[in-house]
Amino acid sequence: MRLTFMVACVVSLVIAFVTSIPAVTVLVTGMAWSADIGSVTYVADSFSAFMVLVINTGSVLAALYGVRYLADDPDGRSLTESILHGTSFVALHAAMIGVVISSDLYSLFYFWEAMSISSFLLVLFDARQTKARTAAIRYILQMHIGAVGILVAIGFVSSAMGGVTYSLVHDYAASHQTWIVLLPLAVAFAMKAGLFPLHSWLPDTHAAAPSHVSGLMSGVMIKLGAYGLIRFGLLTDPSTELGTVLLVIGIATALFGIVNAIGQRDLKKLLAYSSVENMGLIVMSVGMAFIARGIDAPYIEIAAWSGVVLHILHHMLIKAVLFQSAGNILHGTHTRDLNNLGGLIHTMPGTVNLLLLGGLGISALPGSSGFVSEFPMYISGIKTMMMSSTSISMLGVFSVVTLCLAGGFAIIAFTKAIGIGALGTARTKAPLTAHDPHWTTRFPQWLAFGGALFIAVAPGMFIRALSGVLYGLSEKHIPHDLLTTLDTVGIGQAVLIIVVGIVWLLRMLATRTKPVAEGPTWGCGFQEGDARIQYTATTYADSTIEIMSPVTDVSVSYRHIDPADMFPRTRSYHTEEKDLIANKVFDPLAIGVERVLRALAVLQSGNMRSYILYAFVFIVVVVVLTLAEVL
Amino acid sequence: MIALVVILVVALFFIGIVNRTKSLLGGRVGPGLFQHVHDVVRLFRKGAVISTTSSIVFRLAPTISFVAILMACTLIPFGTQPALLPFQYDVVAFAYLLALSRFVMILAALDTGSPFEGMGANREGIYGMLVEPAFFVVFGSLAILTGHTSFTELFSTLHVGSGGVSILISVLAVYVILQIAMIESSRLPIDDPKTHLELTMIHEVMILDHSGFDLGLIMVSSSMKFALFGLLLANFHLTPSAPLWLLLIIAFGVNIVFAMTVGAIESFRARNRMKRNPQFILTLTSVAVLIYFSVLILTNKLVL
Amino acid sequence: MITIHHLPLAVRLDEIPVVSVEEAFACINQYLRVGQSRHVFHMVALPHTDGHRVITVLADDHTHSVSLTSCIVRTGNPVPSLTPSNAQMHIFERDLWERYGLEFTDHPWCKPVRFPVDSFHRKGIDDYPFFRLEGGESHEVGVGPIHAGVIEPGHFRFQCTGEDVVHLEIKLGYQHRDVEGELERARTLQRRSVLAESIAGDTTIGHAWAHAMAIEVLTEQQCDPITEHERVIALELERMAIHVGDLGALSLDVAWQLGSSYFGALRTPLINFFQLWCGNRFGKGLIRPGRNRFPLDEERRKAMRLMLAQFEKKFTLLANEMFSLPSVVARFEGTGVVTHDQVAAIGAVGMSARMSGLGRDIRRSHPHGSYRALDHVSVIEHGGDVLARAAVRRREVDASMRRIRIVLNELSEMSGSDAPTVPSTFTPNTLAISAVEAWRGEVVHVAVTDQDGQIQAYRIKDPSMHNWFALALAVRNNEISDFPICNKSFDLSYCGHDL
Amino acid sequence: MNTLMHPYVFFAGAAIIAGLLIIARTMSAQILLLASYIVLLASLTWHEFTTLNVIEAQYLKADPLTVTLLSVLTILGAVAAFQGVLYAKHRGDSISHLALHNAALVGFLSMLVGVYLSRHIGLVWAFLEASTLTAAVLIYHNRNRNSVEATWKYVFVCSIGIAIAFAGILFLSIAGSATDAHDLSFEALRAGAHTMDPTWLKISFLFLLAGFSVKLGVVPLFNVDIDAKDAAPSHISALLSSVLMNAGFSAVYRIYSVYSGTSIRPWLNSVLLLCGTLSILAAAVYILKVKNLKRLLAYSSLEHAGIVLIAVGSGAWFAALLHLVLHSFAKSAMFLQYGHYFRLTKSKKINAGGDYLSAHPAGAGVFIVGLLALCAVPPMGTFLSEMLALTTLLGTAWWWWALIIIPLLAVILWAMTKRIVSILYRPRHHTSVNGSRATMSMAMETIPQYALLAVVIWLGFFAPPAVVDFLHRASILHP
């Protein structure tokens, strides 16, 4: 297993190396790369090049982590499985690059499907568990349905224009109603990006996938949904209306995602919902940029694009850290259920440290890359609030309120993930016997965190380096004061980190001579305290879920104590978090469809007379339909 | 720089004034004005008792929290005197620094594995989250009103009396910021530090296990947080034309009034029921939205 | 079953019928089935040749009577429990189980009252078998035995789902002063009286009076009317002081600082009057069997009238403020509701019953001393929530004030006579029961003498014995942050439980 | 060689080989004979490739379509023959049993060759009828109750189908009788079709379609085809799903191309779309409740036949042909792998399987790749053909049919993936007796299956332009 994946890792590195060189060249020179392979033309403009770098970084991090992660894999795997996993990994990496360098819908569709199918095969890794199997199959089904959008677009564009290159798409959108082509495409991209209400595959799939794959999917793959929205949004001359739609969807996604993240007790699902949130923020910012373009507000547009670009980078790195930490925890404790964890910081300090740093980052707190990536979003939001049109201004208010609410919710979600999962005392035996994995497992995590830290203290530098990308997106140059503001923020973050260090040293000096006693946590003098006297993942989320009950779906199985029941017998309390949309919309829909189709199955009687009858029925039906001029 | 000094000075006596006001209204003399400072000094000298359950998070949190508040202090200007570290949109950084302090304190609370501290942490997280929209809408509205987006620029043009129209807005803004300060500092009507019951508190219960130097740091942080908001409020009243000594008097005056208001509020009303707190905080947001619409009308952006 | 129509009573042990366990239990069940006017007064077990003689004392509020029955429970011979049909029996049966090892076959809640589970080894004090929610998704909150306030030790275990309490279980018994044992062992009236006064610090008068009555009835002494009147004043004054103090404590718990300060201040003149009367602020040393040690002379009566006048003005003002302040009423209203049915089922007594429409009041149902002539009207509220409990307190303060004034007026027209001398030997083989409606509810003292006329068993029932369970019910399905005000609104006694 | 390899020579050779097969009583003779037949088949294919569009016998002529289908037939025939021998070996069948089987196989394949080559509608009809009879022998091969019933039904329904088709031919001749076109050869019909009465043409097409649907395996007479594939040995099922289906397609497609020269072309298209959609619907309906792996594969054939018809109906002829060819390879590989599955689990039931990845790693790979091919996802060639079909459909006036078809395809994808994945991954019950593991020889036997699947990938994406061009020519029957 390990050897096979090492080969995959090397191949992935080679792909990364080979593709990064032209990508960097594109970014530096600003000249688009283009090549004809077979009869198909591939083009990488600066945005594609940026995405290529994101994909390469994410894939390499995942591959490096995967090598070690799979070495600890407890299950025996057959060669087929190993080869399948390795091949799929490389295929996913290649397909993602293919998606961003495609310049016509056919190849886009091809790579898009290849991306879906290879990620599906990767998710299948743990398919011996029924849950993972179900999740994987749901995933491929939803991806397949989503991809139909591209197919539809191909059908319309190719029949009308005789070809499907992006420039023809542009022409088609210009000469027809834009939404005819944009809507189906948007469905496909939104499905992949996990935008509300098409997000329901995401949490289950991320939870089911092996951790290096979850990190890759969450950090990179779903970003390609956003890539598609941006690419085709720009192709079709974005309007304020399109921007508003994206903004609203982004807001809904961000809030829905993070609220549901709080409700999860599966660590990886929590992280997955947080990815939904972050995709929401990215798309919201994209919407903001389109709006800004529509009302010709270059400053806002650039700020919004900066937010998008930085957030994509930040999220890719931090989610890798977090998912890989979750993977370490899963391998260490064999559970993802936060209710079974706790106290990990004593047994797995190396992993928990990373989880902590990742948590700070993903909650967008000062001192982390998340803060600098949300900062331009705030800039665009507040600046939009200051626009003259009332409706535009209100959109600004919405986006700012979303950002701050999402930030607040993220704090709850990640204090839950870390505080309940890693701190306190162990709730079951599992965390007590856990130990940190080999340091090489944490190497890619530190690498990713290092990158994130670099973004945190030097966002201005990144934006300068990516000015080509921003120019490519907006066709405008970066305003100088935006750069200065970002520089200041970066310096401020550095100062913050340094001051924390200084104060910590001072504190150590001040308390060096002071006596320190150790004792149990204050429990009001009760001597038999145990781990039950701790907030659990479920109860920690309870208040938030109660406030946010319209958008969450947590079913409680618990028999209430009757008021007249003075001496209740011991009973159990269980909750199950479901996805509102999956549970209330998609599942009933799917069940309905299945029921209808199953009802039709009565026609298979096994009776030969009826078989023959069908031939005549068919003929009669066609005749009738012909006479009715339906056919 | 002057702002930082003012904040530190205000932090010295703020809690004292609040407590003194409460004692006087309650018909008692109460502790001395600087009892708080004595307490902190005493704590700084003491050793500590640390829970065996806790980890580095628990020890590090007060430091990070303190530094976050300190950094937030560097963003606040003093009238026309710029802040130590002014930049565009530092409003965002301000709110997020408070959030950082909250985040680490919540983690420290959860690190102890105590039910009380988990309870406090949970409440702190939710109320902190709910209060943020109000803050941003208010400052966004002020940004619309003045056209500036950093505290320094904003307060250099905005103060009560800068044009008759903005008085109403300033008053509303002062009200909202006052309430935000109360919520951020876990005071009435959200929480009451005096109750001393583990089950009903928020901030106080989160720090149950902290002792010695760290507890001192936390107390300093919470005083500074008050002073921080005090100076924000004072900035509404600092006319640029006045000389520095007058400005200082105004600033301290505002803070004293602020402290006395806190004391009075805490004397004359009871705490909210815990479940009603979210509603209460959302009311605050609606006031903030009211400010926003008033600003839109005032700036002729919204024509009714 | 023997029925007696007035309290305090003394009955020869052999007059109490001894029937079989089944018969006795059937009899009790039938008695209690009549309705809410009947409840259990006490359940006492006396050592018997081959086990224990369990004497059950039942009370009927309508007929003002008390009924007794007894049965022999053999050691190591489990008997059926009354608790499944009458929840109010649970605490008495648990008490018997814990003290004497009597076993009950179907007691649903057979847990210790005061001691560790393994009460013979007594190693871990905190190994109480709490009700718990399984599944690992809810959490528990344990408060106590050491509390943030300066109060007595007791442990509260909450089963919580977030902020909501699903169930509260209370574990008391961190003190074990063994007051009952001391009372049995005491050989002088003086020592007994002092011990009785310190059964519960906030119910000095109530317990002292109940004790005095028990001794009086055992020695067949009668107090003179002045003494009885003065005792009424002392009891009502104690009631007022505690109620005012609790209103202040309630204010503090909802963080209404004015109420907390001024109710606290208002309590002072009340307890200071005790200082003036008997030299300490808690009314200790005042009541002795057969007499009061400190007379309420004309001078003190005047001082009292003056004090009450001043108190009334301020109290009315502050109480009106309290019950009209929206933020306070909002906290009180609907918090910690215990319904009428629940109160009746658990046999709550005193103000904990009256706040939910159950008019259980010894002063009316089994009047003692001067109350027999006073035609008492109970204060009854119906809400069952914290607001109702606060309102009961407020109205009882007013009612007590009126009562004291009436009694004061009557006192000034009475002339005293010499106090009787109480002998130190008692009627042999007798069971004496006395009950006093102290501020918290009925205080019941049961004294049993042996053939030598010495006290063989002394059993005390503080109202908290019944009422702690009401607190547990009040908190059910409430917010955990409302627990402190629920607790304070009942203000139950820890040491009264842990005798 | 060319002159030698006249179709007559082929048929004669086939007849001789079949005869020898029946009498040959040694294994090596059987294998030798089968090999020689395959050589014969291959040389015929080569011959026809070199003499395209030359009328050889009166009504036999090879066009690119014929050659394409012949190539497929040669490859799959070779694999099936090889597999048939192995099959008999594993079952321990007697040599006479095998001999009958091999002779029937040769006959069956030869009849299909006839179908591909025929230029006369009556001759097509006759060859198809003949293929039914030979196929019956093959289906009956297992000689159990199930196969008896299936064979009997197959013969009966095929006869009915053939009768219906015959009615269609009669209607056509009625339509033609009013004109000069008395000859029912395709060339003559194409020349005269536009003068015929459209109503009669429509009726005759309907009857022909309904009649041949039993071979193509589409609505309305697909049921019996499913039963037959279920009952037949797996390599025969593979042939039924591929070359026989191709024969049905060849017949229908040639008729379609004749009729599409007339004014009823839109009507023809819509009927094919309807037929295809109904087939996919039927596949979706049954695949949802199917518990039998073999039937699952059979229903998948129904779906793919539907897609082919839809491609034809929407004008994506190249896609139709490509899909047909690719499906033949993919489905054959799957059916052959099913043979392994059955050997390991002794059951057709999907529930009987599980953890196939460990039990038979090489076979699991076939299932995975085959599944991908049947689900038409990259990098499989089927992806390309299906995409072409659907995008073409989306470009026609009937684009909204896609909105019906696509969800149905998704349902099928879901159901198939779920079942195959559960076979691959679901842990087996420890109590199950079917815990046997694949042997090395079974792993070796997967090589031809992989080869077939490799063709699917190769044809889809790396096919040399010449091949693509040839396929293009094959798909366009009338210039």
Residues of C within 8 A of A571 (CB-CB) are: 133-134
Amino acid at D455: V
Residues of C within 8 A of A427 (CB-CB) are: 136
Q: Computed from CA positions of residues D272, D276, D281, D286, in that sequence, does the dihedral angle turn out positive or negative?
A: positive
Select the residue from A493, A503, A535, A544 to test the B interface by mutation, using most B Cβ atoms within 10 A: A535
Asked whether A and B share 3 or more beta-carbon pairs under 8 angstroms, the answer is yes
pLDDT at C146: 86
Of residues D213, D361, D396, nearest to A79 (C-beta): D361
Amino acid at A297: A
Q: Highest mean pLDDT: which of A464-468, B198-202, B238-242? A: A464-468
A368 against A523, higher pLDDT: A368
Residue A589 pLDDT > 80:
yes
| pLDDT mean over A551-560 | 88
Query: Which helix (H) or strand (E) element contains residue D217?
Result: none
Residue D2 pLDDT > 60:
no
Taking residue C2's Cβ as centre, other Cβ atoms within 10 Å add up to 14
Residue A307 pLDDT > 90:
yes
Residues of C within 8 A of B274 (CB-CB) are: 163, 479, 481-482
Of residues C124, C126, C346, nearest to A566 (C-beta): C346
pLDDT tens for residues C255-275?
898 999 999 999 999 999 999
| pLDDT mean over C123-149 | 83
pLDDT at D429: 65
Closest by CA to D205, choosing from D265, D278, D276, D156, is D265
| pLDDT mean over D250-268 | 88
Of residues B53, B68, B137, nearest to A424 (C-beta): B53
Report the gap between the CA of A343 and the closest CA in chain C (Å).
16
Pure H helices in A295-348:
298-333, 344-347
pLDDT tens for residues D288-316?
888 899 999 999 999 999 999 999 998 88
Please judge whether B188 and C255 are an interchain contact, meaning their C-beta atoms are less than 8 angstroms apart. yes
- Interatomic CA distance for residues A404 and A387, integer angstroms: 20
Burial class (CB in 10 A: 0-12, 13-18, 19+), B33: middle
- Interatomic CA distance for residues B40 and B16, integer angstroms: 12
Are D290 and D299 in contact by the 8 Å Cβ rule? The answer is yes
pLDDT at C118: 64
Q: Highest mean pLDDT: which of A179-183, C242-246, D99-103, D431-435? A: C242-246
ipTM greater than 0.85, yes or no? yes
Q: How far is CA C95 from the centre of its chain?
A: 16
pLDDT tens for residues A29-70?
888 898 888 788 999 999 999 999 999 999 999 999 988 888
pLDDT at C124: 64
Select the residue from D171, D279, D387 to test the A interface by mutation, using most A Cβ atoms within 10 A: D387
| pLDDT mean over A203-207 | 91
Residue C375 pLDDT > 90:
no
Residue C443 pLDDT > 80:
yes
Residues of B within 8 A of A393 (CB-CB) are: 144, 296, 301
Of residues C127, C147, C341, nearest to A528 (C-beta): C127
Select the residue from D171, D223, D295 to test the A interface by mutation, using most A Cβ atoms within 10 A: D223
- Interatomic CA distance for residues B204 and B15, integer angstroms: 15
Q: Who's near B90: CB < 8 A, 6+ residues apart?
A: B75, B83, B150, B151, B152
| pLDDT mean over C379-389 | 94
Kindly state the tokens that stand for D442.
């079974």
D443 touches chain A (CB under 8 A): no
Residue B276 pLDDT > 60:
yes
Residues of B within 8 A of C139 (CB-CB) are: 115, 118
B66 touches chain A (CB under 8 A): yes
Measure CA of the first residue to CA of the last residue in chain D; give whole Å. 30
pLDDT at B166: 67
Q: Who's near B29: CB < 8 A, 6+ residues apart?
A: B23
Please judge whether A521 and B71 are an interchain contact, meaning their C-beta atoms are less than 8 angstroms apart. no
Q: How far is CA B304 from the centre of its chain?
A: 35
Q: Computed from CA positions of residues D300, D304, D310, D314, in that sequence, does the dihedral angle turn out positive or negative?
A: positive
Residue D36 phi/psi, 5° resolution? -65, -35
Predicted confidence band of residue C123 (pLDDT cuts 50, 70, 90): low
D396 touches chain A (CB under 8 A): yes
C263 touches chain B (CB under 8 A): no
pLDDT tens for residues C7-66?
888 999 989 999 999 999 899 999 999 888 899 999 999 988 888 999 999 999 899 999
pLDDT tens for residues D49-84?
888 888 777 788 888 899 999 999 999 999 999 988
- Interatomic CA distance for residues D20 and D35, integer angstroms: 13
pLDDT tens for residues A460-519?
999 999 988 888 888 888 999 899 999 999 999 999 999 999 999 999 998 888 888 888
B279 touches chain C (CB under 8 A): no
Please judge whether A533 and C139 are an interchain contact, meaning their C-beta atoms are less than 8 angstroms apart. yes
By C-alpha distance, the chain A residue nearest D396 is A159
A540 three-class SS: helix
B210 touches chain A (CB under 8 A): no
Residue C218 phi/psi, 5° resolution? -75, -30
Pure H helices in C15-155:
21-33, 90-100
Taking residue C51's Cβ as centre, other Cβ atoms within 10 Å add up to 17
> Helix %, strand %, coil % for chain D, to 5?
80, 0, 20
pLDDT at A14: 94
C324 touches chain B (CB under 8 A): no
Q: Highest mean pLDDT: which of B168-177, C77-86, C239-248? A: C239-248
pLDDT tens for residues A538-552?
999 988 988 888 888
Q: Highest mean pLDDT: which of A308-317, B18-27, B268-277, C149-158? A: A308-317
Select the residue from C106, C126, C138, C143 to test the A interface by mutation, using most A Cβ atoms within 10 A: C138
- Residues in chain D, how many? 479
Check whether the bond before A437 is cis (ω within 30° of 0). no
Predicted confidence band of residue A347 (pLDDT cuts 50, 70, 90): very high
pLDDT at D107: 92
Please judge whether A127 and D421 are an interchain contact, meaning their C-beta atoms are less than 8 angstroms apart. yes
Query: Which helix (H) or strand (E) element contains residue B181?
Result: helix B166-184
Residues of C within 8 A of B117 (CB-CB) are: none
pLDDT at A315: 94
- pLDDT-above-70 percentage for chain D: 96
- Interatomic CA distance for residues C315 and C313, integer angstroms: 6
Residue D1 pLDDT > 50:
no
Please judge whether C146 and A525 are an interchain contact, meaning their C-beta atoms are less than 8 angstroms apart. yes
Q: Who's near A375: CB < 8 A, 6+ residues apart?
A: A307, A459, A485, A486, A489, B89, B92, B93
A499 touches chain D (CB under 8 A): no
pLDDT at C422: 80
Amino acid at D87: Y
- Interatomic CA distance for residues C474 and C477, integer angstroms: 8
Mean pLDDT of chain B: 87
C66 three-class SS: strand
| pLDDT mean over B240-256 | 88
pLDDT tens for residues C284-323?
999 999 888 998 888 999 999 999 999 999 999 999 999 9
Please judge whether A345 and B301 are an interchain contact, meaning their C-beta atoms are less than 8 angstroms apart. no
Of residues A345, A401, A533, nearest to B55 (C-beta): A345
Of residues C143, C331, C335, nearest to B198 (C-beta): C143
Going by DSSP bridges, is the β-strand pair A40-44/A33-37 parallel, antiparallel, or unpaired? antiparallel
- Interatomic CA distance for residues D210 and D220, integer angstroms: 6
Report the gap between the CA of A538 and the closest CA in chain C (Å).
6
- Interatomic CA distance for residues C193 and A544, integer angstroms: 56
| pLDDT mean over B222-234 | 90
Burial class (CB in 10 A: 0-12, 13-18, 19+), B300: exposed
Predicted confidence band of residue D431 (pLDDT cuts 50, 70, 90): very low
Cβ within 8 Å of D, A 78-117: 78-81, 83-84, 95, 106, 109-111, 113-114, 116-117
D167 touches chain A (CB under 8 A): no
C104 three-class SS: strand
Residue D128 pLDDT > 70:
yes
Report the gap between the CA of D18 and the closest CA in chain A (Å).
32
Residues of C within 8 A of A567 (CB-CB) are: 83, 87, 90, 108-109
Of residues C163, C255, C265, nearest to B192 (C-beta): C255
